[in-house]
Amino acid sequence: ATYDDGRGGVRVEVVTTDEISLVVSGSVSQESPYVTGVRLGNSNINGLGIYADGEWQDGGFYRDGWRATAIDYQLFGRPFQLGAEIERRPIGGDWSGELRHPFFTDVQRIAWRAAIGSSLDAFPFLRPDSLDPSVSLTRSFADIGFVVRVGEPGRLSLFGASLSREVSIPSPDIILVTDNGIVPAPGTSLDTRYSRSRAARLNFLWGVRNIGFKRVVGFDALTGAQDVRTGFQLAVLFGRSLSVLGTHDDDILVSSDVYAGVGTARSFAAVQLLGAGRQSYDANRWDDILTSGRAAWYFKASAPYTTVASTEWSGGWRQRAPFQLSLGEGRGGMRGYSGTELPGGQRLLFRLEQRWVFGNVRGNADAAAGLVGEAGRMWAGDVPFGQTVPLKYSVGTSLFAALPPGSQRLWRLDLMFPLNRVTGAGWELRLRSENNTRIFWREPRDVERSRERSLPQRIFQWP
């Protein structure tokens, strides 16, 4: 609104409404303890552009797990980001730190990052009808690199380089993590399967982009607007091992990320695929092959109704470090099957969601309800104890809220029921808070944890 200030000038008053910056999630179980996890944080503390959250996880017989994350998005008042994370798991833990200047717009000329971290995990392998053995794995990494932009906004190329170092040390002592303590478990197929690796690499990065943006409403939010990417983009990393810093491996590493999107404000389809593999000159073969991706179609029959159909894929072959997928993985698997032991090397999921925005709650929030259906299957692959699992199904219902109205952040409460009788399958109730308007595909944790952490995946992905 504008007002006469009484002195021959004009006074302009602008009123803004911030989105809810609270970060909250939790998980419950059918059995005691009924509350198994809580996450609480704030994505914009005091409006200073600082993110911080903490998470607690019930550890059962072992110590409880906790995690703390902090990110300053405007370090020294500049567009630099400093992040740190520390986590104590019931067994093991990790820490990491990163200083970066990511790409914010196409008119930016340069981006860079430096990262370092270390972790200790007891990597569990699901073994149906028996106790699950674990491999203790110590990993450390460091990376520093940059990219520069060449070309016009919207149609550009990226060129860059990075120097990385990664060490992976699996323990030869296989263990069983039982409800009453850790006990040795010799005599399994895991005893001699994994060996240590130490690699320093010089990486070359290249990307090409021909992208536009289309403004849509109610795709990944309820009534909030978002800009979806139309067009095509490709990023490639090529790394060559160096005979320095104690390197054991003689190899090349190739990693790629491809995205394509097309559509209108009513109907939009997109696909994103990620892949990585290593050519070992010592063994004269490709290994450490890891892939994932998502294809999705959004359709709005009318303003209140949104249909989202998606297919998600994850797969790995010849992994040198411990690796195994599960059908019920917490972030990227099927809901209703998180308690099952259905392991494999490749996973395929189908999801269908019908959402209906039924109104505004006293001007404070948007509200919606939805029906959800999921189907998924597994292939045994070459992972330990892998199984080929035929299609499984689950259905459920969801309640959604966006605070304030038009917010891009979505709060959702999902209640899912499995349709197949499988040991460990049961209804699940999940509360989540998420903003997916800027991220088309977030890899499942069981894929993400097996990627080399020194690869600069985040900073060199375009917004």
Residue 62 has phi, psi (to 5 degrees) of -90, 180
Res. 98: pLDDT tops 80 = yes
CA angle (393 as vertex; 391, 399 as ends), nearest 5 = 150
How much is the pLDDT for 463? 38
Could you give the CA distance from residue 343 to residue 325 in angstroms, rounded to a whole number?
Answer: 6
Q: What percent of the chain has pLDDT over 90?
A: 49
User: Do the beta carbons of residue 446 and residue 326 sit within 8 Å?
Assistant: yes
107 or 370, which is more confident:
370
Q: What residue type is assigned to position 397 of the chain?
A: T
Report DSSP state, residue 182.
E
Could you give the CA distance from residue 100 to residue 84 in angstroms, rounded to a whole number?
Answer: 12
Structure-token pair, residue 306:
């949104």
The owner of tokens 């993110």 is 51
What is the Cα Rg of the chain in Å?
A: 23
Q: Classify 92 in phi/psi space as left (phi over 0), alpha (psi -120 to 50) or beta.
A: left
- From the list 129, 128, 124, 119, the residue with the least C-alpha distance to 174 is 124
Segment 333-367, tens digit of pLDDT: 999 998 888 999 999 999 999 999 998 888 888 99
SS3 per residue for 311-367: EEEEEEECCCCCCCEECCCCCCCCCCCCCCCCEECEEEEEEEEEEEEEEEECCCEEE
343 or 456, which is more confident:
343
195 or 203, which is more confident:
203
Segment 231-247, tens digit of pLDDT: 999 999 999 988 877 78
The owner of tokens 């917490």 is 330
The owner of tokens 């940059």 is 146
Segment 68-82, tens digit of pLDDT: 999 999 898 888 999
193 or 294, which is more confident:
294
Res. 432: pLDDT tops 80 = yes
How much is the pLDDT for 459? 46
3-state secondary structure of 372: strand
How far lies 6's CA from each of 1, 2, 3, 10, in Å?
15, 12, 9, 8
Res. 122: pLDDT tops 70 = yes
Mean pLDDT computed over 176-196: 84
Could you give the CA distance from residue 269 to residue 403 in angstroms, rounded to a whole number?
Answer: 27
